[in-house]
Amino acid sequence: MASRRALSLLGAIALATTACGATPATKLHPEALTDVPAAADGDVAAQRLATTPARYRTAIFPSATSSEHIYATKPDLMSGQPITLRLDVYQPTGDANTARPLLVWIHGGGFAFGNRGSMAWMSRDYARLGYVTATISYRLDPGNKCLQVQAGQYTGAQLIAERARCERAVLGARDDAASAIAWLRANAATFGIDTTRVAVGGSSAGAITALHVGQTLNTPGNPPPADLRVGAVLAMSGCNYVEGSIDAFDTPVAVLASGGDALVPFTCSMATVDQAIAVGTPVMRHYFELESGHAQGLYSAHQGEVDRAWRQFLVDHLELT
């Protein structure tokens, strides 16, 4: 899948803050939230969640069973040699439902390292709610210099080359995630998936990838292809780096971010959210501006309120009531 828009990347993990076109904020913006409140109003989200069916809001299944599958073979980002891409599928144990929503989780690691096993616990937790979940592997570039690019250590031809390398890694991860979603849809009968109810989430580089799946796979003014379309994005420390990609055909997004994040600048996360709001996309924000937690660490620190809100967000935007 080729990129449909130009990227404006200074790094695969994070941009220099000026590149996202936003200035730092010092407060939440509740007027721009969806009808599911974010961090400032977590109690209201909990009240709404309490009115939904037990499925999707509480762990009604005792465990989840997992299975490993190959979903694609693609050329390595650097060598071009074919590599096998795998995913793990988690299903709620003892569930009789044969048309269940799908939630795909994407691991972090700066597009240089990491593995799908780091998202296994999230997959099991959501499978116990009644989802089919999956964690995916995607192509990595262990030698990328994206942090150095962000830090301004390169100029001239070296900067151009390393920036292009970062772009290749980000778009490669996005395209691999899209391929995994398409493969799962094609095998929906095997896993008991409702193909009309698909969401994607991720941590750090995985959050960046999830946002790009939800916001960059369509041409301007048109919806994305049906086999790649998702109904919700959950992002733990992520932002969108594709210039001009956010429009009214994008996916509803829930973004968790901290003001002092050293890897994904808060300004970039805010810019992604603000641009989505400007085009009318439903958004949920959990901003912790006085903290510096990142990705799964930030999520763990606020798991209770984030879980309540995200579960309701999925119920609303996947239409699970």
Could you tell me the fold of the domain covering 52-317? Rossmann fold (3.40.50)
Closest CA to 242 of 261, 217, 266, 277: 217
What is the rounded average pLDDT of the residues 127-137?
Answer: 98
pLDDT of 21 higher than 90? no
Q: Which residue has the higher pLDDT, 139 or 17?
A: 139
Confidence of residue 152 (pLDDT cuts 50, 70, 90): confident
**Lookup: tokens for 120:** 């296994």
pLDDT digits (tens, 9 = 90+) for 227-239: 999 999 999 999 9
Confidence of residue 7 (pLDDT cuts 50, 70, 90): low
Q: Which are the contacts of 58, defined by CB distance < 8 A and separation ≥ 6?
A: 129
> What are the angstrom distances between the C-alpha of 127 and each of 58, 276, 313?
11, 29, 16
DSSP annotation of 297: H
What is the rounded average pLDDT of the residues 282-308?
Answer: 97
- What's residue 45's pLDDT? 59
pLDDT of 82 higher than 80? yes
7-21, 96-110, 115-129, range with the lowest pLDDT:
7-21
- What's residue 297's pLDDT? 96
pLDDT of 309 higher than 70? yes
- What's residue 173's pLDDT? 98
- What's residue 151's pLDDT? 74
pLDDT digits (tens, 9 = 90+) for 210-253: 999 999 999 888 999 999 999 999 999 999 989 999 999 999 99
Strand residues in the chain grouped as ranges (E): 64-75, 82-92, 100-106, 132-136, 193-203, 232-236, 253-258, 283-288
pLDDT of 14 higher than 60? no
The phi, psi pair for 102, rounded to 5°, reads -110, 135
Q: Which are the contacts of 257, defined by CB distance < 8 A and separation ≥ 6?
A: 237, 264, 266, 269, 270, 285, 286, 287, 288, 298
- What's residue 30's pLDDT? 30
Q: Which residue has the higher pLDDT, 41 or 59?
A: 59
Residues 226 and 147: their CA atoms lie apart, in Å, by: 35
> Do 232 and 131 meet the contact criterion of CB atoms below 8 Å apart?
no
3-state class (DSSP) for residue 210:
helix
User: Residue 272: left (phi > 0), alpha (psi -120 to 50), or beta?
Assistant: alpha
What is the rounded average pLDDT of the residues 196-200?
Answer: 98
> Do 39 and 319 meet the contact criterion of CB atoms below 8 Å apart?
no
pLDDT of 298 higher than 90? yes
- What's residue 146's pLDDT? 83
* Burial of 290 per CB tally in 10 Å (0-12, 13-18, 19+): exposed
- What's residue 23's pLDDT? 32
pLDDT of 53 higher than 90? no
Residue 112 CB neighbour total at 10 angstroms: 17
Mean pLDDT of the chain: 87
What is the rounded average pLDDT of the residues 263-292?
Answer: 96
- What's residue 5's pLDDT? 53
> Do 202 and 110 meet the contact criterion of CB atoms below 8 Å apart?
no
Instruction: Look at strands 193-203 and 100-106 and give their pairing.
Output: parallel
Residues 45 and 160: their CA atoms lie apart, in Å, by: 45
Closest CA to 246 of 267, 220, 210, 209: 220
**Structural domain boundaries in the chain:** 52-317
pLDDT of 17 higher than 60? no
Q: Which residue has the higher pLDDT, 20 or 236?
A: 236
What is the rounded average pLDDT of the residues 130-155?
Answer: 92
pLDDT of 48 higher than 70? no
Confidence of residue 160 (pLDDT cuts 50, 70, 90): very high
